[in-house]
Amino acid sequence: MKIEEKSSIRCGTHGTRTPAIVCCHMTQAKDLVVGFVENSSDPDDLQAWCAACEQLYLEEGDKTERFKAFNDFKVVCDFCYASLKERHSDTV
C-alpha cells in the first residue's frame, strides 16, 4: 500500500478524509479491546498501534522487519481512527 504525502483517503463510510495509520489488530478485532497506543505527537500525523504491537516494539527497540510484519499497518480515515481510539482505549 502506498501512502503519499498530503494525500487523502477515500473511506467507504466517511468519504474523502485525511489518512491515518493503525495496526491490523485494531481493524480486525471486532469485539476485543486491544489497546490504543498513539505513537506520534504530531496531530497531522495520526499513527497508533495496539498494546501487543507496543510490547513488540519495546522488545525490538525499533520498527524492525519483524515488527512491521506483526504490525501490518492499515490506512484508515481520521474519523475511523477516532472511533478505533474510542473503542480500543479502555484497557490500557
Shorter beta-carbon distance to Zn ion: residue 12 or 43: 12
Q: Binding residues for Zn ion, per CB under 5 A?
A: 11, 13-14, 23, 25, 49-50, 53, 77, 79-80
Residue 8 Cβ vs Zn ion, minimum distance, rounded to whole Å:
12
**DSSP code of residue 92:** -
**DSSP code of residue 47:** B
Mapped onto helix, strand or coil, the DSSP state of residue 17 is strand
Shorter beta-carbon distance to Zn ion: residue 46 or 49: 49
Give how far Cα 73 sits from Cα of 20, 22, 44, Å: 10, 6, 18
Residue 58 Cβ vs Zn ion, minimum distance, rounded to whole Å:
13
Residue 28 Cβ vs Zn ion, minimum distance, rounded to whole Å:
9
